[in-house]
Amino acid sequence: MQSVTEAKFKRDSLLLALRSYSSTVGRMEQTVLLPSLLRDVPADEPWRGGAVVDDEQSSRDLYSDYLMLKAVKSVVESGLIPLEDNMSKKAALSETLEALLELDADPETLFRFHLRGLFSIMSQLTQQSQRLTQKYLEIIGIAN
């Protein structure tokens, strides 16, 4: 019989979080048959994470969210990270990583920091996929 600790570990495992995200986006893709209906439908809420909402985020629509969620799913499932042509994202990431490395944290501390961040992001993306699917069903008149 499994102990409570083993059950919690499995429930909170990174693999489970990634599978949950992948299956949620898969359901979103099966539900959203006409993604173009999501164009110009404003996103309900800005991305969380403590960052200041910039012009790019404030003009987000559900169609761009749909494309982003599918792209992240592709990366999660394939493990291949596409080359970014957006230099500002690379520069911001580079600055963040440099700041972390300057903390002189041991590898375990850095690992735990990044793992918490990954869990947080995967949870946010999973919830965003669920909200987008629900909003699409409302748009086509199936949901309340």
Identify whether the C-beta of residue 94 lies closer than 8 Å to the C-beta of residue 72. no
Query: 61-88: per-residue pLDDT in tens?
Result: 999 999 999 999 998 998 877 665 455 5
Residue 122 confidence (pLDDT): 94
112-130 residue pLDDT tens = 888 888 999 999 999 999 9
Q: Residue ranges of the domains in the chain? A: 4-139
| Average pLDDT value for the chain | 79
Residue 49 has pLDDT above 50, yes or no: no
User: Which of the four pLDDT bands, split at 50, 70 and 90, describes residue 43?
Assistant: confident
Name the phi and psi angles at 42, rounded to 5: -65, 145
